Structure 1
Amino acid sequence: MMDSGVRRRRLLATAGMTVVAPLVARAQGEPIRIGEINSYTAQPAFLQPYRNAWILAQEQVNAAGGIHGRPLETLFRDDAGRPEDAVRLAGELVNAEKVALLSGGFLSNVGLAIGDFANQNKRLFVASEPLTDALVWARGNRYTFRLRASTYMQSAMLVEEAAKLPVKRWATVAPNYEYGQSAVRWFKELLTRAKPDVQFVAEQFPALGRIDAGATVQALAAANPEAIFNVTFGADLTNFVRQGSTRGLFERRRIVSLLTGEPEYLEPLQDEAPEGWIVTGYPWDQINTPEHSAFRDAYRRRWNDHPRLGSVVGYDTVMAIATMLKKIPAPETEAMVAAMRGLPFGSVFGPAEFRAIDHQSTMGAFVGRTALKNGKGTMVDWRYADGRNYLPPDEVVRTLRPQG
C-alpha cells in the first residue's frame, strides 16, 4: 500500500491529466469527453482509490466497444477543495475542452458550486460523492444528479439503530460546513421523531481539517451525554478518536458515527480504531455477492490493492454514465438529462436507479459496528441498507425541492 506522502505526490503530478483507456480495440470513433472535477490533493485517502476505479471502469467500457463505437475519455481536474476553483475549472472544461458532461465532487460545498454552474450553463453534472441533501433538494436543478447515499439517507440508517439504544441524552460533533450541518440536522430531526423523549445537550462544530480535538472532547464531556453522534472524518476523525480515547470520552457512552466504517478512515487508525461504534461503512473483504466479487477481483488485478469506498463510488459513477450514454444516439445535454431521470443501473452493491423526482440515486450503504481484528479496525454485524428504503416519499420531496 502506498504511504500518504507518495500518494499525495502522485496526485499532484497527475491532477491535470487526461485519461483515455488503452484498451480500445473496438472503440475507435471520436471520444466522448467527461470533465471530472475533484479535491484530489485535499482528500487523497478517498480520491486516489476513486480515480483508480474510475480508470478501471473506463478501460472496461472501452474494451467492450465503448459507447456506440466511441471511447470514453476523462479530463481530470483538481479543485483543491475550493468551490471557486471548481467553478473556474468547470468553465474551462465546458468552453475550452468541449466536454460532453461534468462529473465528480467530494466536499459538499464544492458539489453545490458545480451544481449551480451546471444549472446556469445547462450542462449535465453527475455528482459522485458530495453528500449534502441540498444538492438534490433545496438547490436541486434539472441538470444535477447524485450517486451516493446522502446525509439524510445515511442519517436515517443510523437513526434506525440509535433509536434502539437505552439512552436519552445526546451530543453531536461535526465539521462546520454544509455536510456536517446537514447530517446533524437530519439526525436530530429523525431521532426526535422516532424517540420523542431524547434530549440534545451539546453540539460541537469544529472547522473542517482544523479540529482542536482536546477542546472538543472536553466540551462534549462537560455536557455529560449518554451518547454521541459523530460526523468527523479523515484526519479530524483520527484526532478526535485519539483525544477521546485518552480522555475517556467514549467510556460507558454509545457512539453513532457517520462514515467511520469506510476503510479510508478506519484503516489509518490501526489498533487505535474504536470498538462498538455504530457506523456506516464498507466491509470490502466480507461482501461476496457476484457483483461485488467481480469488482473486487478486477480492482485487485489492476491496482494490486484492495478497494475502498471511494473505489466503489468512482467505478459506479463511470458505469452509470456509460449506461445512460448507451440509451441515446449522441451525448447531447437534454437527451442525457432525459435518460438520467429514472435510469436503472448496476451498482457494485446491486441494482439501483436515479429517481426521476429528485435525481437521487438509490444506491445504499452498509450499517454495522466497529471492531478490532488482528490489530486493525473492521466492521462486524453489518447489513446492507438499500437506499430506496431511506428516502422520503414523493409528497415530502415536493416540499423540499423546487420543481423543474
Structure 2
Amino acid sequence: MKKTVTAFALGALFAIPAFAQKGETVRIAFIDPLSGAFANVGANQLKSWQYVAEQMSGAKNAAGVKFEVTGFDNKGSPQESLSALRAAIDQGFRYVTQGNGSGAALAISEAVAKHNERNPGKEVVYLSYSAKDPSLTNEKCNYWHFRLDADTTVRMEAVTAFMKDQPKIKKVFLINQNYSHGQQTVRFFKEGIARQRPDVQIVGEELIPIGTVKDFSPYVAKIKATGADTIVSSNWGSDLTLLVKAMNDAGLKVGMYTNDANVSGTPTALAAGGDSEVYIISPNHNNHTGELGALSAGFKQKFNDDYYMYTSYNGIVLLGDAMAKSKSIDPAKVAAAMEGMSIKSFAGEATMRKSDHQMQQAMFISKWQKVDKTNPYSVENTGYTFAPVKRLEPYVASTPTSCVMKRPS
C-alpha cells in the first residue's frame, strides 16, 4: 500500500508541469544574421518576434504563457547557425526560429532532428518563419520542423496564376541569388509559366552570388538588352535593394515580381525611383486593419520601422494554441498538438498541414503605389505602400508534398 501511495504521489508530482502551463515562460531562440550584409533584415525580424512575443504574452494567448525571444547571430552562415543552435540548446532553449537563408534552415533542421533522436526528453522544436526551400517540407522533411511561411512552389504557383491574366507580360528576365531558394525560383517559375502562359518568353536569367554583389549595373544592362518587360526576382535584403538602385540609375522601368520588396531598405530605394510596377507575392501585405493594423502601428511607433514579418504573429499564435491544447510547454507534446492545427492567422484561417508541416494559408499579390484612403500605411515613411490587389485562397496556390514523415514512436 505504501508503495502504491508513493508511486501515485510521484506520478502526480511529475504531472503538474505538464498541466500547469499557464504562467510559465517559453523561451525562443532567434537564429539569424545580426551582422554582415543582411544585418538590417535580421535586426528587424528579431524586433518583430520580440514585439509580438511581448504583445501576446499572458492573457493574450490561449495558453496564458509568457513568451521571451533572444537573438543569436548566425552571420548568415549554415556553419555559424549550427554553433548558434548548440549555444541556444546549452542555455536551455527548447524552441528555435530562423528564416533568412534556406542553407541555414536545412542545417538547423537536420541538427535539431539529430539532437532530438539522441536526447529523448530534451526535444527542440524548430519554427521556420521565412526559409522557402521546398525540400524542407518534401524530401528533407522533419517532424520537428514547422514552416510558417509559403515555400517557393506555393509562391511561384501564385504568381504564375496571377500572370495568366496579365496579357501585357511577354518577355521575362529571371535574376535570383545563387543558392537553393534562388535556383528553385527559376525552376518552379519556368514550370508554372509554361503551364499558365506558354506564350511568355524567358529572355534571360542570372544567378548571382548571394550577399556579395555591390554593383548591379552590369546585370541591369543585360536586362535592358534583352527587351524584357518583366523581371522575376526572389532576391532579398541588399541584393534586391542594390538591384533596384541600379534600375533607378539606368532609368529601367519594367514590371517586377518579388517575394521581399517590402523588406528593410528596398522600399526606400523603390521610392527614390518614383512610381513603378512592382509586386510582392506573399501570405501578407502592409495594410491590415483591426488587431493586426494596431500591431503594425504599435511597432512603427516603438521602433520607427515596419512590421512586415507577419509569420512571427502566426508562430506565436500557433505555439499558444498548441500549448493550450496539449496543456503543456513540453516541445514533444506541443509538436504533436501543432500537427494539423488550424489557427486564426493574419490572413484568415491557416492550417499546419500534418503530412509535411507546411502552413496552408491565403496568398496575396500586392502592388507598389502611393498611399491612399484604402491603403494608408506608408512603408518606410516613403509615402508609398504595397496595396493588396488579389487574394488567393489557400487551395489555389497549395502544392503537393512528397514528404514521408517519420514520427517519434
TM-score range (shorter-chain normalised) is 0.7 to 0.9
Superposed, 1:211-290 pairs within 5 Å as: 211=213, 212-250=215-253, 253-262=254-263, 265-273=266-274, 275-280=276-281, 283-284=285-286, 286-288=287-289, 290=290
Show the counterpart of 1:143.
Answer: 144
C-alpha distance in 2, partners of 1:149/1:166? 27
Say if 1:275 and 1:369, in contact at 8 Å, map to a contact too. no
Corresponding residue SS for 1:203: strand
Q: CA RMSD in A?
A: 2.8
- Larger Rg, first or second structure (1 or 2): 2
Q: Deviations over 1:127-180 (max 9, x none)?
A: 112122122123111111110122222222211222223344322001111221
Show the counterpart of 2:340.
Answer: 342
Q: Deviations over 1:312-352 (max 9, x none)?
A: 23233222222222221333333222111111222223321
C-alpha distance in 2, partners of 1:139/1:166? 38
C-alpha distance in 1, partners of 2:340/2:239? 37
Q: Deviations over 1:171-199 (max 9, x none)?
A: 20011112211222111111111122333
The alpha carbon displacement at 1:383 in A equals 3.0
Say if 2:163 and 2:197, in contact at 8 Å, map to a contact too. no
Where in structure 1 do 4 or more consecutive aligned residues deviate above 6 Å?
Answer: none
Say if 1:345 and 1:352, in contact at 8 Å, map to a contact too. yes
Show the counterpart of 1:71.
Answer: 66
> Relative to structure 2, which stretch is displaced further, 371-380 or 358-367?
371-380
Show the counterpart of 2:308.
Answer: 309
The alpha carbon displacement at 1:225 in A equals 2.9
What letter is aligned with 2:32? N
Show the counterpart of 1:382.
Answer: 389
- Pick closer, same or farther for the CA change 1:188–1:69 going to 2, 3 Å: closer
* 1:58 matched to 2:46: no
The alpha carbon displacement at 1:381 in A equals 5.7
Show the counterpart of 1:160.
Answer: 161
C-alpha distance in 2, partners of 1:227/1:140? 34
C-alpha distance in 2, partners of 1:402/1:328? 24
Gaps of 5+ in 2: 1-19, 117-123, 372-377
* 1:93 matched to 2:88: yes
Corresponding residue SS for 1:368: strand
Say if 1:241 and 1:274, in contact at 8 Å, map to a contact too. no
Show the counterpart of 2:193.
Answer: 191
Gaps of 5+ in 1: 1-25
Alignment length (residue pairs)? 367
C-alpha distance in 2, partners of 1:187/1:193? 10
The alpha carbon displacement at 1:63 in A equals 3.5
C-alpha distance in 2, partners of 1:264/1:317? 25
> Relative to structure 2, which stretch is displaced further, 257-266 or 206-215?
257-266
